[in-house]
Structure 1
C-alpha cells in the first residue's frame, strides 16, 4: 500500500465521516420539525434513519484510526469537509424534507462509493468490505424515502 493511496483513503473516509455527521443532524432536524398529514410516519422514519446514520460515525472514525491517521476533531472540521448542505429552515413542508433527504443520501452514496474505491486502491479489505454494508443501508434509506413521495 503506497503512501498516496493511504492518504487518499483517509481523506475519503474523513469526508465520509463529515457527511455522516451532517446527514445525521439534518435527518434529526427534520424528525423534530416535520408536520402535516404524514407526521407520525415521517417522524418515526426520520428518527430511525438518524439513529442508523449516527451509528456509522464511530465505525468510520475507527477505520481512519486503524489506518494510522487522525479523524475530524470539531464541528468546524465537519463543516469544512461535508458535502451535505445545511438546512436551517424549520418551515419546510414534509415533501420538501423527504426530497432533500433523498438528494443528500444520494450524495452520501457517492461518498460511500468513493471511499470503497479508495479502500480498494489502498488494499484495505476491511474498509472495502464494511462499505458494502454501509452502501446497502444508504440504498435502503433512499428507497424508503422515495416510496413516501411516489
Structure 2
C-alpha cells in the first residue's frame, strides 16, 4: 500500500512539473510577443494557442498537489527553483530558433510528465495517472506541430 513518502515524492514531482509548465508558458508568451519575420502571423497565433493550453493546466496540476495534502509553488522564486527548463530573456531571436527551443522544451515536458505518472503509480494515485496521459498527449501534439513547422 502506498505511503506518506510516495505521496511526498509525487507532490514534489508535480511541483517540478508545475514549475516547468509556468516556465514554458512564459517562454511561449515571450516568443508570441516578440516573433517577427515572414511566418509572423502563423507563429504568433500558434504560440498564443500553445501558451493558453499550457497556462490552463497549471491550476489542474497545482490542485492535484493540494488534493494530495501538499503545498504548491508560491512565487516566481519557487518556480525558478523547481523548473528543469531554461529561461529565455531574449527578445531578438530568429523565429525558427524559437520553434526549435519550444519543440525541445515540450519534448522535455513529456519526459517530466512520464516521471509524474511513474510517481503517481507508486503513490497509488490513479487520478493523476489518468491526467498524465492527457498531458502527455497534449505535449506530444505541441512537439508535432512545432516539428512540422520546422519542415
Note whether the superposition's TM-score is higher than 0.5.
yes
- Aligned position for 2:93: 92
Q: CA deviation at 1:47?
A: 0.1
Q: After TM superposition, list the pairs within 5 Å mapping 1:4-19 onto structure 2.
A: 4-19=5-20
Q: Match of 2:37, SS?
A: coil
Q: CA deviation at 1:4?
A: 1.5
Q: Distance in 1 between matches of 2:54 and 2:139?
A: 9
Q: CA deviation at 1:106?
A: 1.1
Q: Confirm whether residue 25 of structure 1 aligns to residue 1 of structure 2.
A: no
- Aligned position for 1:104: 105
Q: Distance in 2 between matches of 1:124 and 1:62?
A: 13
Q: Match of 2:93, SS?
A: coil
| TM superposition outliers: structure 1 runs of 4+ over 4 Å | none
Q: Distance in 2 between matches of 1:42 and 1:84?
A: 21
Aligned length: 150
Q: Distance in 2 between matches of 1:19 and 1:126?
A: 20
- Aligned position for 2:80: 79
Q: CA deviation at 1:25?
A: 0.1
Q: Distance in 2 between matches of 1:21 and 1:89?
A: 17
Q: Distance in 2 between matches of 1:55 and 1:135?
A: 15
Deviations 1:63-94 (A, max 9, x none): 00000000000000000000110101111000
Q: CA deviation at 1:3?
A: 1.5
- Aligned position for 2:46: 45
What TM-score do you get using the length of structure 2 for normalisation?
0.98
What TM-score do you get using the length of structure 1 for normalisation?
0.99
Q: Confirm whether residue 69 of structure 1 aligns to residue 56 of structure 2.
A: no
